[in-house]
Structure 1
């Protein structure tokens, strides 16, 4: 798992880690980095496209840890339909749930943010477009990234749905 740069203490609020390499990410940027690593990058793209990142931990590449996404694309005229199913492992969903409820939401509340999904989209978009060059991915993985990008930009998307914390099948037109 990717290292976190922030933590949360109920008594003291935010706790900052990794001062030397933490960079100058905005707080929602830090959240987006961790959330998308657990949701997509670490859950599928990095193990599939950059296996060398796990050379010291080959057991982390076992199939149950990284379920393969199912993606169906249909292109008709100017319409592209992407129907996908991709749910990170139960361990990643557990981590996502706890991170969201124990770190992201308490900090957002302390900052006066009522809806975290109103706060995160620009940072989610940046992570979806800036980590892997979409043209270099397999078509299935590009389509999955585009579907998540469309979800991140859709004002009706709830963060638990985006993070695959609620059971659903998503179709984006």
Structure 2
């Protein structure tokens, strides 16, 4: 409180709130006389006054909607200069929000592509695995077959030598 002449001045307390819908509210509480509120850039605003019993006045100014950063300018006879408070633009937050959504969708896309390629690769690997098993058994099977041919030949010769003369086959 400071006095000039016979009239006492009460300096208001200035607050500024900005919401995500683009509305800014500038409040100069309990000033005597009432503070003057303006906006930079000038736009669509609504001002309300609330008179208190002690002779002070609260000025509430609502500015909407905002697309760029805006500044609340408050002037009062008790101050040498006006006070200003700034609401930054919400466009930066929108950019971050959209970037995060795009990054998330791209991440999901890459995960799905990775899963698809893994399934595709595992399917081919399973087919290759089956042919590898066949290749592993194939040399063994042919070896047994050759062994059997030799064994059968040796067996026939051995059997025919031990048979009585009437039972031996004519070769």
Q: Quickly name the TM-score band, shorter chain normalised.
A: under 0.3
Q: Which has the larger radius of gyration?
A: 2
Question: Larger relative contact order (C-alpha < 8 A, sep ≥ 6)?
Answer: 1
Structure 2-normalised TM-score? 0.20
